[in-house]
């Protein structure tokens, strides 16, 4: 094992990668940001929120908007939940700048995605993540999502990175439970499932929770599933997993942000439009999402 990190669940069990509410003209809606964050913590039971992740449309928000959003969420819920700022880019210097700005704005942790598009080798990944961890005083979740970034964080790289005192966990969207199992066997990294429908299988090999997208709607029930598994009630956990599958998968019928914002709008919660190159959900997609919610025993008003 590597050196001990700060607890087995550094950010709790239930984390939602929050969308960024915009006004009707596409500008940042900071009041909506705070209201949505409060809803996700107080009503859906989130232990932490990821701000400025892909679901938060980080590719199309400015550095200033990112900092303002972190500050707004920290003011709204920072005494009741952890605020994790997505700061990953494919430029190490820019990532460090975002990390320091997020720390100053009140974030409690950082989510750092594998650099995308430029496809660095494993030595480059190690240097990138280590540089960010050295520059900031905040705990870091590595975000391993090769189907978006083009490069996986390989097992040996993760084991090496686990030796850094501020690299405390992984948002795991690799889809390889064997690789996950090997890392968990060799490190004390806290693993959070990054694929909603794979949360229960991930728990079975040692994951501690989820960084979810459908959890904008399923958060309370997903937390029940995680807690049921933790206390050994595998039957209840399995039943909740099966109940929630329609939304675990349904929000990804198109890009996840699109349908989450549509579902939030249907519930009268802050969301607003998406920014180009995303496009807003069609009426047909919204109706299908309502059907998925109904299959889970949840209801979106017509």
Tell me the C-alpha to C-alpha distance, in Å, between residue 13 and each of 81, 94, 156, 169: 11, 29, 26, 12
3-state secondary structure of 145: coil
3-state secondary structure of 263: helix
- Residues β-bridged to residue 113: 143
CA atoms of 87 and 85, how far apart (whole Å): 6
At how many degrees (to 10) do helices 63-77 and 30-42 cross? 40
Q: Which of 39, 82, 143, 223 is catalytic?
A: 143
Q: Identify whether 171 is a catalytic site residue.
A: yes
Tell me the C-alpha to C-alpha distance, in Å, between residue 18 and each of 21, 26, 272: 9, 17, 13
Q: Which of 171, 174, 223, 261 is catalytic?
A: 171
Q: Identify whether 104 is a catalytic site residue.
A: no
Q: Is the peptide bond before 166 cis (omega within 30 degrees of 0)?
A: no
Question: In this structure, which long-range contacts are made by residues 119-125, counting pairs with CB atoms below 8 Å and at least 24 apart in sequence?
Answer: 119/150, 119/151, 120/151, 122/153, 122/154, 122/156, 122/157, 125/151, 125/153, 125/157
Give the dihedral sign, CA 20/21/24/29: negative
Residues annotated as catalytic (active site), given as ranges: 143, 171
């Amino acid at each position: 094992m590597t050196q001990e990190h700060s607890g087995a669940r550094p950010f709790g069990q239930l984390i939602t990668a929050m969308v960024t509410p915009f006004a009707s003209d596409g500008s940042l809606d900071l009041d909506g940001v705070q209201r949505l964050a409060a809803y996700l913590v107080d009503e859906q039971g989130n232990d932490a929120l990821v701000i400025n992740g892909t679901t938060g449309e980080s590719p199309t928000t400015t550095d200033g908007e990112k900092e303002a959003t972190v500050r707004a969420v920290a003011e709204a819920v920072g005494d009741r939940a952890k605020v994790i700022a997505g700061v990953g880019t494919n430029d190490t210097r820019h990532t460090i700048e975002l990390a320091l700005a997020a720390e100053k704005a009140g974030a409690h942790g950082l989510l750092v995605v594998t650099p995308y598009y430029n496809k660095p080798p494993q030595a480059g990944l190690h240097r990138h993540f280590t540089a960010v961890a050295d520059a900031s005083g905040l705990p870091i979740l590595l975000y391993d999502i090769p189907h978006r970034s083009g490069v996986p964080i390989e097992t040996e790289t993760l084991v090496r990175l686990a030796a850094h005192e501020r690299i405390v966990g992984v948002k795991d969207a690799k889809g390889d439970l064997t690789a996950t199992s090997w890392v968990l066997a060799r490190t004390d990294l806290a693993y959070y499932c990054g694929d909603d429908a794979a949360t229960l299988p991930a728990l079975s090999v040692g994951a501690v929770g989820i960084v979810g997208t459908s959890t904008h709607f399923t958060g309370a029930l997903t937390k029940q599933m995680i807690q049921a598994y933790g206390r050994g009630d595998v039957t209840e956990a399995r039943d909740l997993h099966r109940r929630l599958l329609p939304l675990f998968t349904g929000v990804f019928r198109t890009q996840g942000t699109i349908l989450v914002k549509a579902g939030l709008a249907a519930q009268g919660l802050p969301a607003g439009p998406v920014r180009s190159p995303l496009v807003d959900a069609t009426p047909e997609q919204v109706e299908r999402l309502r059907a998925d919610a109904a299959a889970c025993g949840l209801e979106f008003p017509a």
